[in-house]
Chains A and B, each alone.
Chain A
Amino acid sequence: DGGITQSPKYLFRKEGQNVTLSCEQNLNHDAMYWYRQDPGQGLRLIYYSQIVNDFQKGDIAEGYSVSREKKESFPLTVTSAQKNPTAFYLCASKVDRGPGELFFGEGSRLTVL
């Protein structure tokens, strides 16, 4: 079945370590997104990519990095520069033309110890 797969579902990290969250989609979508969600709050955009080898910063990009080497993949690295990385991270994708729905993965919950 087509969809978006995020891994790992749960991740623990020590302070000062970088960690990479995986996001893979087999929907042939052009656009992909990373959101962060803190308890009881809405989603905030970290990075998005409209096409391979191109990506743009969202509202809270500091301390994060991404790459888009393949259409299917949009990994997110949470670096040690991110001051408060403990959060729920959501990846999404969309056909990059016209109105339509955003497809979300099931999320990755990162806890910094």
Chain B
Amino acid sequence: DAKTTQPPSMDCAEGRAANLPCNHSTISGNEYVYWYRQIHSQGPQYIIHGLKNNETNEMASLIITEDRKSSTLILPHATLRDTAVYYCIALGTGGYNKLIFGAGTRLAVHP
């Protein structure tokens, strides 16, 4: 499965959009990009996933570049409750049973 690279930390003002980047330059054609987040001392929570096309749900939007080597998770109107560690993972169809979480990006939303 492709390795992903994320910045260790980011800040965002409450009410503004939070744009979290992820680099997955070695991603292969059948690997999906998944995003999860973890609020302190809780289990991670699924946010969104995509393969090629941009995706949107009630929580966030996922923008994947045309060459699929990077993606951006967008929280359109960040709130204080969005403060968490965000994990970007690239996973192929044969590897659904081995989701591996790296260190992620620690997002701090401030008033």
Interface size of B by CB at 8 A reads: 22
- Shortest C-beta distance, B63 to chain A (Å), equals 18
The residue in B99, B103, B104 that gathers the most chain A C-beta atoms within 10 A of its C-beta is B99
The yes or no answer to A104 lying at the interface (CB within 8 A) is yes
Q: Is the interface of A mostly helix, strand, loop or mixed?
A: strand
Q: Cβ of A92 and Cβ of B43 under 8 Å apart?
A: yes
- List the A residue with the shortest CB-CB distance to B44: A104
Which residues of A are found within 8 Å of B93, using beta-carbon distances?
98-99
Instruction: Tell me, yes or no, whether A101 is within 8 Å of chain B by CB.
Output: yes
B45 within 8 A of A: yes
- Bound CA span A109–B40, Å: 13
Q: How many residues of A contact B (CB 8 A)?
A: 31
B99 A102 Cβ-Cβ under 8 A: yes
> A residues within 8 A CB of B104?
42
Mark A71-113 against chain B: 1 for CB-CB distance below 8 A, else 0. Answer: 0000000000000000010101010101111111111010000
Q: A50 touching B97 by the CB < 8 A rule?
A: yes
Is the C-beta of A64 less than 8 angstroms from some C-beta in chain B? Answer: no
Determine whether the beta carbon of A106 is less than 8 Å from that of B46: no
The answer to whether the Cβ of B76 comes within 8 Å of any Cβ in the partner chain is no
Contact A41 B103 (CB under 8 A): yes
Q: 18 extra interchain contacts, Cβ-Cβ under 8 A, other than A41-B103, A44-B101? A: A42-B87, A42-B102, A42-B103, A44-B100, A45-B99, A92-B43, A98-B93, A98-B96, A99-B32, A99-B51, A100-B49, A101-B46, A101-B49, A102-B36, A102-B46, A103-B46, A107-B41, A109-B41
